[in-house]
Amino acid sequence: MKLAKGYRGAKSRLFKTAKDQVMKSYVYAFRDRKVNKRKFRELWIARINAAARMNNISYSKLMHGLKLANIDINRKMLADLAVNDPKAFAAIADQAKQALN
């Protein structure tokens, strides 16, 4: 019953209903820990794509160019650079463009 504290109505007062809701809450928590990782990856890719297009290159070409240039930087760091340091991101994008040519 302690775990059901804060739930509305019968879900916090009746034992069976509260137990069922707590179990369902655990399922939601397990699922959403996985979903959270996917959502952050989507956000990073959207930010990288926006910054890449400002530098006249598509996201997929940027990532391929980085691989060809042996620049091993993850999407989280690229997205952070794109938001907080556009000049550094532009330099990385230029290296990716050169690797593609």
pLDDT at 87: 96
- Tell me the backbone φ, ψ of residue 85, rounded to 5 degrees: -145, 75
Say what the pTM is.
Answer: 0.83
pLDDT at 84: 97
Question: HSE of 68 in the Cβ direction (CA atoms, 13 Å)?
Answer: 15
Average pLDDT over residues 69-92: 96
Average pLDDT over residues 13-32: 96
Locate 32 and state its tokens: 């959403």
- CATH superfamily of the 10-99 domain: Ribosomal protein L20, C-terminal domain (1.10.1900.20)
- pLDDT, tens digit, 9 for 90 and up, residues 37-63: 999 999 999 999 999 999 999 999 999
- Domains in the chain: boundaries: 10-99
Confidence of residue 101 (pLDDT cuts 50, 70, 90): confident
